[in-house]
């Protein structure tokens, strides 16, 4: 599982837009993440966006642990996985309920290609919701088109717009990507290969709500029930 150049570009823009300024810089990720970027200029751009001094910067090669990058950016870092990696929370994301000491403690929670490998989709989305503080951000990079059998699931953009509606999230970024180029999501035109990259802001401290679609007989399509 890896953080793509497109995701790094969005995180860089979030920093430039001062979206972390009033929040504690605490991140937790679903899955032990690596940095999947070979563009050193993009890494420098990320460091610039977070105002990292030259003497604090380090080389971030392809495959570097995301923990090392985010520590340089000033984040306290946690990740969740059953891979036995050092300093990893060994929670089964299919079944774990958010422990009280972790509830609403993180300003950035991420799902960079983890949830599609989990059977219990509800629990993975609810866990991110519960881990995220009010005002914090949930970031997803998940398969949309062109990767049949990559995992158990691929995702439709409408899932995330419906999740946002059901839970009163603000959608801050919503793109399709081939891991390098970002394409603004605007409708029903999809490339042959694409992942969804979305950032949603949690606006209230309420229990996670499941979206539900119902058939609209007037317009002959499914719509959110809310």
Ordered by start, the domain boundaries in the chain are 2-224
Q: Is-contact 5 115, C-beta < 8 A?
A: no
- Per-residue pLDDT band for 179 (boundaries 50, 70, 90) equals confident
Average pLDDT over residues 178-205: 90
- The DSSP secondary structure of 78-121, one letter per residue, reads EEE-SS--TT-B---TTTPPPPGGGTT-EEEEEEES-GGG-S-H
- Per-residue pLDDT band for 187 (boundaries 50, 70, 90) equals confident
Range with the lowest mean pLDDT among 85-94, 107-116, 177-186, 206-215?
Answer: 177-186
Distance CA 26, CA 81 (A): 18
Q: Which of 216, 203, 21, 5 is nearest to 104 (CA)?
A: 203
Distance CA 218, CA 103 (A): 42
Taking residue 169's Cβ as centre, other Cβ atoms within 10 Å add up to 22
Q: Does domain 2-224 have CATH number 3.40.50.150?
A: yes
pLDDT digits (tens, 9 = 90+) for 63-118: 999 999 999 999 999 999 999 888 999 999 999 999 999 999 999 999 999 999 99
Q: Is-contact 225 166, C-beta < 8 A?
A: no
| Residue 41, CA distances (Å) to 48, 65, 69, 167 in order | 10, 18, 15, 37
For residue 128, what pLDDT is reported? 98
* b (16+ CB within 10 A) / e for 15-32: beeebbeeeebbbbbbbb
């Amino acid at each position: 599982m890896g953080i793509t150049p497109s995701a790094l570009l969005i995180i860089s823009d979030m920093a430039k837009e001062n979206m972390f300024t009033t929040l504690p810089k605490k991140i937790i990720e679903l899955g032990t993440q690596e940095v999947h970027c070979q563009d050193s200029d993009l890494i420098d751009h990320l460091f610039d966006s977070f105002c990292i001094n030259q003497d604090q910067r380090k080389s971030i090669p392809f495959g570097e642990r995301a923990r090392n990058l985010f520590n340089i950016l000033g984040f306290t870092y946690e990740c969740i996985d059953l891979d036995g990696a050092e300093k990893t929370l060994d929670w089964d994301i299919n079944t774990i309920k958010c422990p009280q000491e972790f509830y609403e403690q993180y300003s950035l929670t991420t799902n960079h290609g983890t949830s599609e490998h989990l059977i219990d989709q509800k629990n993975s989305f609810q866990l991110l919701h519960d881990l995220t503080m009010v005002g914090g951000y949930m970031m997803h990079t998940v398969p949309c088109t062109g990767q049949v059998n990559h995992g158990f699931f691929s995702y439709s953009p409408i899932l995330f717009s419906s999740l946002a509606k059901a839970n009163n999230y603000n959608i801050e970024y919503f793109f399709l990507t081939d891991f390098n180029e970002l394409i603004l999501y605007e409708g029903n035109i999809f490339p042959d290969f694409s992942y969804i990259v979305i950032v949603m802001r949690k606006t209230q401290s309420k229990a996670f709500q499941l979206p539900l679609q119902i058939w609209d007989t007037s317009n002959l399509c499914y719509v959110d029930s809310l």
